[in-house]
Structure 1
Amino acid sequence: MQKSQEYLYCARDKEKEPGQIEDLMEELRLEVESLQSYLEKAFNSSHHPLKKVLKLLLVVFQATYSGLGTNFHLLSMAQEEIKYYAKKLWEFFRALLTMKADKGGGALSGGPHGEDMSEELNPYTVILPAILPRFHPDLFMLYMLYRQQEDALYWQGIVRLGHLTDTKLLEFLDVQRQLWPLKDVKLTANQARPPTRNPANHNRAHPTPSPRRKRYSIVRHKCFQSATECLQKIISTVAPKEKLEIILKTYQEIEKTVSRVLSKDYKLPMDDLLPLLIYVVSRAGIQHLGAEIHFIQDLMDPTNRGGMNDFLLTALESCYEHIQKDEVRLFK
């Protein structure tokens, strides 16, 4: 720790790197964005002690859990090890802040020792988002292996539901017809053209559905597109907080679509939300959704548990489990 000061505060201009880590620390503030920005630069600076520590931790982790060590039985150990790394790096980082104050660099708001740090500043919010991208490939492989059987059943359901048209799927999921966003469906010229009338049926006693409504029955993957595209973004993020934000945004997009269909603000009760969310999940086609859910549950910030995050994560897990059922996988 003492030796690290040689790199942090020395005035050897020849060895200074682009960005000048020393100058960046002078501008540091006790805010999540500021700390994460500094850490990202520190982890990419060959002279910074945090980069050296992280590099060694990554080598050890890969030697333990990748290659021959890729075994789903080791998942709990691996994810606990990642959380331990974050905790220790957080202690190290706070020590560097203290060294800054002791060196005469001035105290940060909240005190150099972090006595008054908000709950928002912790290993899960500051350290994990910075280090997870480096550990994610090997760690997530363990999650995929752990959830392999459930994900296989779930994917069979996804494939089966993918063959259904939008109206058939909404009907199969018992979505109330008043919530069907058929106005969002843009039919092609051929789809919108009324079918040729059969003279033999011209004088039928019962009226037939309008030609345009009948045309909706051949359309796939057109309803709730904004929510579907939003949920698909979950695979392009790593941090659990970002994944939770995507799930929340998906819920908001579903609610926004329903409100537009009803021409009024509408807060979805669970009975309405679940079938609509199943629809969106089935159309999003996230192959390893079980691994994604488990990953979020294990590595999310404990201070964020409860409330809307838990509600939506539980709802998403319910959709995942429902799609695995025989009635879905074997539906014809």
Structure 2
Amino acid sequence: MTSLDELPIRDDLRGKTPYGAPQKTVPVALNVNENTHPIPEDVAHDIVARVAAAIIGLNRYPDREFTELRTALAGYLGHGLVPEQIWAANGSNEVLQHILQAFGGPGRTALGFGPTYSMYGLLAAGTGTEWVTAERDDDFELSAETALAAIERHDPDIVLLCAPNNPTGTPLALDTIRAVADTARGIVVVDEAYFEFAEPGDPSALTLLEGRPRLLVSRTMSKAFAFAGARVGYLAGDPAAIDALRLVRLPYHLSALTQAAALGALAHADEMLAMVDEIRGQRERISRELAALGYRPYRSGANFVLFGGVDDPHAVFEALLARGILIREIGLPGCLRVTAGTEAETTAFLEAMASFAPNRMTA
């Protein structure tokens, strides 16, 4: 059998590791920031009916411009957006890939602030874009001063801002986003995959789009909409930027079934998002009870909590797994990350952590 090293792959891909997280069948899976609440039954029935209707026409290609879906997404986002300002793809990862294909490439640089979403670097590598990371402030925060200093130092073609940040959950102040958008010469992408879990009233980067044609705001239906398996991501930006993404997308990249399912979910947006408050409450409960146990939960505006003060993260990970609870090792010293699940899932996790606490040593 031929090994990967024997194949004539690109030199810049040699030694790379594909994105991945443990996929295990366990009673309590809290490792990949899914929305663990099921889709409401009445919504599911409507989505099934829409998909069934779309099946009848599968002998024809889907609407290449996904016009109805773009209209629905613009309506959901608000802020005066129109369909011409909306793009969508098979998950926000493909949206980000389109951006890097259109605005990155050989001889160009993308800048992020680590630790951040690991797919940014992989997408950069896949498009031949140089990936550069700059450090954050203490406690994984990112001030405007720190961000602007990195932009001045690296002069990137693309800046990727994760707001709230993954894997740390750190919210990003609108002042920092505004400063970056007004300073960087290239494209600025604000990845708001977890924005619906932010504190009520927190402003979105969508409020900054007007007059900033190089600013793009990415979202996903995977998290708040509990639609991870459907693979629907989207962004808002200037119509000219949307035209640039058309140059790199594959023909008919959004299937008729994907479009139908997404339209069904958006038609029930209020019901689909009703669980967000509960998830936010479980997130706060995790932070509060982990702190009482002597761990260090970091500030989070997402549907997960990063916590430090873990003497042996891998041992705790394995001990939880032995109890049927799967969380995430992310490679940060003394830290683990857990998704805020249902009340029962959160209880199972916290009770397990409490059983470890008497024997743990503070890092």
- TM bracket, shorter-chain basis: under 0.3
Tell me which structure has the larger Cα radius of gyration. Answer: 1
Whose strand fraction is larger, Structure 1's or Structure 2's?
2
User: RCO higher in 1 or 2 (8 Å CA, sep ≥ 6)?
Assistant: 2
TM-score normalised by L of structure 1: 0.22
Whose helix fraction is larger, Structure 1's or Structure 2's?
1
TM-score normalised by L of structure 2: 0.21
